Structure 1
Amino acid sequence: MDYVLKYRLFPDGQQRERLDWVRDTVRQVYNHALHRFNRIPEDAGTVKQRVTQVRDELPELKDWWTDLNNVYSTVLQQAVEQIETNITNLAKRRDAGYDVGSLNWKAPHEYRSFTYRQTGFELDDNSGPSGRGLLTLKKVNGETLQVPIRLHRDLLDETDVKHVTIKKDRTGAWFACLNVEQAEPDKPDPAELDTKDTVGLDLGILNFIHDSDRRQLGRLNLSSDRERLEHEQRNLSRKQHGSNNWEEQRQMVAKVHKRMRNKKSDFKHKVAAFYTTEYDAVFVENLNVKGMLESGRNSRNTHEIGWRDFITILKHHGRKRGCHVVEVDPKDTTKACNECGVKTDKPLWVREHSCPSCGYTTDRDYNAALNVWERGLEKLGVVHSEDRTPAETATAVEQTHRESVSASRVVETGSPCLKEATQSVAE
């Protein structure tokens, strides 16, 4: 399996200048290649064939653009081939229903990376106690650079580094993104899975996760970071655009954004690592996040929480650790009673599930997590046995068929009409 490891680089002043020179030169090559690509008629071949035609012009381009001789050849080739990748990504977004345009030239602040493929780099990970190694890069403005790199996680001996992307973020920090390949561990046979080694996750807004083993995980609190961001953005608005003070303040805003992104990413990766390590199968709802954002209800919270991003991370950790990650149909997971299957409409403010049919009472999110768990077991083909301890349950009423119950029959815990509603159900 392929995945990316990101490490911080610590170039000195001269090395920064050389890395910036390569980055900007590669950007100009990309813009030139895009110009040449757009001039080739569409009927001259597929996108890949036209990109290959432009890439094959690089040796001739070096004859009059002599600076390109100071850049490693695969770095230039990767910049040209990036056009094909970008066009493919645009087509995918168009097919997904997004409004997309065409590729444009990149300004200096928009092009932030360049890539070595297979060769042209060497990693010395014999870092010792300091955690610092050396990343050797060839032909960086004609020189071979040895850039200090902080290896905060070890590379396994069997890891194969396929290519390295050198990236400068908006704060001015440099990173090395190593695309590595490792053998993907085998996942357990679903027929042999123990249901105790499986879990269902209900993703929410008040609580980020409520699982079928009764764990509740609150959402990440970023209120102080948002206040800091608003403060720094106000300061930025008072600076003269393009001045040195404006650029310094822009980097301050970028650092706050980066800190918030890092907190979200770290939180999601740790949660995903926990579940895929503790369980052999994790079941989660296949949420239509795009539709939720378009509906306007809780769109800010939905966007900030990032459910789809978490599911993607969860799948990545599942492949890495040999854990099944299965998405199930989210329809009526909150409405359906896990005991009898009767569907009960609930407003968002009702946090308790109280079935008017069988009397089953439990937390709203726990009931949904159990439904996700059972649907996941069915979809994966795991033999289901009742091994979850039920929550507080009233005397069950025999139910021969499933029906949908209106929200008027559901009351919030502590409501003055609770006793009246309970009597009505008992009758």
Structure 2
Amino acid sequence: MIVREAKLLNGTKEQYQAVDDAILAAQFIRNKAVRYWIDNQGVDKADLYKLCKDLAASFDFALKLNSAARQASAERAWTSISSFYKRCKKQEKKKGYPKFKKHSRSVEYKVSGWKLSDDCKIITFTDGFKIGSLSVFCNSSTREDLHRLKINRVRVVRKADGYYAQFCFDADRKEVGIYTGNVVGLDLGLKYFTKDQNDNAVIYPQFLRKSEGRLKKRSKRLSKKFLLGKKPQSNNYHKARKRLGRVHLKIQRQRKDWAIKQARCVVHSNDVIVYEDLKIANMVKNHYLAKSISDASWYQFTQWLDYYGQIWDKAVVAVSPNYTSQDCSNCGRRVKKALSTRTHSCPKCSMEICRDTNAAINILKKGMKILGSEWQDNSTSGQEESASIDEGKHGEKTTNTIDGKPDIASGFL
């Protein structure tokens, strides 16, 4: 599925209020569906669809919402329920029991309830809330997709700086990749955002740290506008709240833009990318490093690595980070060291190397082993580091598998 986003402009105050009412109605139906599942055993997706019809007959504001939008809200509830069932079958520690939504920010329409103009510049919502027509502002590539592809769903999202329409297309994005024969192992960290086996480092800009002054200033002004039990939530309070939200939104967009550009550059330059699969939820429990870990946004970066790997048909492998910093990449001896120790010194082979570079080499070796290949470090002989891929008889490349799926790593040779 491809999602394209466009901003909704030229709307009146009454139109935007109607959008908020539609979002609240969708939230109501979603919460009612979760409650119905809690109170009744053996409820399936079809039962939630029937519930939408009963809610429309009982509540006038639910009837105003388009019937397909009501079903989409029930599907959101069923998504959280089915995810809960999957985690229970896998016997995970955190089951993620479905919760009620308190602050929803979006409503989703299917193929009805909206209409896009022929030039794709105006979208009109035709349900009972009478939102009317809104201008669609987007870039040229998004407008081309609106003309060319079939739109399956339209999602209206409220953000700190306005309202957006997200158009969902049922299509897979595929592009022709440029294969270079390079492999890379990435060690994720705080001092260096990434460091590879060639000692190439990338430093993270620390967007949250740079914006802390503005965040504190906006938060302080917000706290003066409202005191629980003394001052009501006035119009000035909501204006200050939106200003604070826009600062957070800018940081979020900066992180996303950074992650996309870095991931695209890495996948474009290499054919096999191996990174460590960090358990970030456990790492942020360290209160001394939680803010820096959250600011680094490792998870978002790795998600975009996987995304571009699928687009360009390249191998992106996640490996366990266990002992990658402790084990010597040359002889394999485990040398325990504290987090403050930044140099790996092996007493067995007398190797001295940067701690992160040593970890990157171990990460790359793990990933190549998963792919059924072997990575050899020839840097000591003055040659560049290379990866040797096992070949079958008569010079034919062997096809490896990962979790039962064909390995795409053999395609870059």
From 352, 367, 374, give the equivalent of 2:365.
374
Residue 167 of structure 1 pairs with residue 157 of structure 2: yes
Q: Give the match for residue 77 of structure 2.
A: 83
CA RMSD of aligned residues (A): 3.2
CA distance in 2, matches of 1:166, 1:315: 27
Task: Quickly say closer, same or farther: Cα 1:25–1:221, change in 2 above 3 A.
Answer: closer
Of 211, 216, 230, 2:201 maps to 216
Correspondence for 2:99: 103
How far is the alpha carbon of 1:255 from its aligned partner? Answer: 1.0
What is the aligned counterpart of 1:332 among 284, 306, 323?
Answer: 323
Distance in 2 of aligned mates of 1:4 and 1:121: 17
Q: Quote the offset at 1:97 in angstroms.
A: 3.4
Once residues 224 and 152 of structure 1 are traced to their aligned partners in structure 2, the CA distance between those partners, rounded to angstroms, is 32
- Tell me which residue corresponds to 1:180: 169
Question: Is 1:234 matched up with 2:220?
Answer: yes
Q: Which one is further off, 87-96 or 175-184?
A: 87-96
Instruction: Describe the superposition over 1:215-267 as per-residue Cα deviations: whole angstroms up to 9, x where unpaired.
Output: 21102223230111011111111113501221111111111111111111111
User: Residues 292 and 125 (structure 1 numbering): CA distance in 2 closer, same or farther, change over 3 Å?
Assistant: farther
- C-alpha distance in 2, partners of 1:40/1:362? 57
Q: Is residue 188 of structure 2 the alignment partner of residue 203 of structure 1?
A: yes
Q: Counterparts of 1:137 and 1:391 in 2: how far apart (Å)?
A: 67
Q: 1:308 to 1:174 in 2, by over 3 A?
A: same
Q: Distance in 2 between matches of 1:299 and 1:33?
A: 33
Distance in 2 between the 1:294 and 1:37 partners?
30
Aligned 8 A contact 1:71 1:142 in 2: no
- Structure 1: state its 5+ residue gaps: 127-132, 393-427
Deviations 1:195-232 (A, max 9, x none): x4221110001111002243211022232301110111
Instruction: Give 2:8's aligned residue.
Output: 9
Distance 2:257 2:118 in 1: 24
State the AA in 1 paired with 2:188: L
TM-score (norm 2): 0.78
- Match for 1:225: what amino acid? S
TM-score by length of 1: 0.76
Q: Note if contact 2:342-2:354 (Cα within 8 Å) is conserved in structure 1.
A: yes
C-alpha contact 1:55 1:81 (8 A) present in aligned 2: no
The residue aligned with 2:398 is: none
In structure 1, give the amino acid aligned to 2:155. Answer: T
| Deviation at residue 313 of structure 1 after TM alignment | 2.5
After superposing the two structures, state which structure 1 stretch, 149-158 or 334-343, moved more: 149-158
2:266 matches 1:267: no
Q: 1:246 to 1:33 in 2, by over 3 A?
A: closer
Aligned partner of 1:54 in structure 2 is 51
Point out where structure 2 has 5 or more consecutive residues left out of the alignment. Answer: 227-231, 383-413
**In 2, Cα distance between the equivalents of 1:57 and 1:13?**
32
In structure 2, distance between residues paired with 1:25 and 1:146:
15
- Residue 378 of structure 1 deviates from its aligned partner by 0.9
Larger Rg: 1
Q: Give the corresponding residue for 1:314.
A: 305
> In the superposition, relative to structure 1, how do residues 391 and 217 fare at CA in structure 2: closer, same or farther (>3 Å)?
farther
> Which residue pairs with 2:376 in the alignment?
386
Deviation at 1:357, TM superposition (A): 1.5
Query: Match of 2:76, as an amino acid?
Result: Q
| Preserved CA contact (<8 Å) 2:274 2:317 | yes
Pick closer, same or farther for the CA change 1:335–1:387 going to 2, 3 Å.
closer
Q: Which residue of 1 is the match for residue 125 of structure 2?
A: 138
Secondary structure at 1:300 match in 2: helix
Q: Could you report, residue by residue, the CA deviation over 1:55-106 in whole angstroms, capped at 9, with x for unpaired residues?
A: 2436645xx72x6665433123212332222334556678653485653364
Letter in 1 for 2:165: A
Query: Is the 1:24–1:111 Cα contact (8 Å) retained in structure 2?
Result: no
CA distance in 2, matches of 1:213, 1:122: 53
Query: For this pair of structures, how many residues does the alignment match?
Result: 370
- Structure 1 289/251 Cα, relative in aligned 2: closer, same or farther at 3 Å? same
Distance 1:238 1:391, change over 3 A: farther
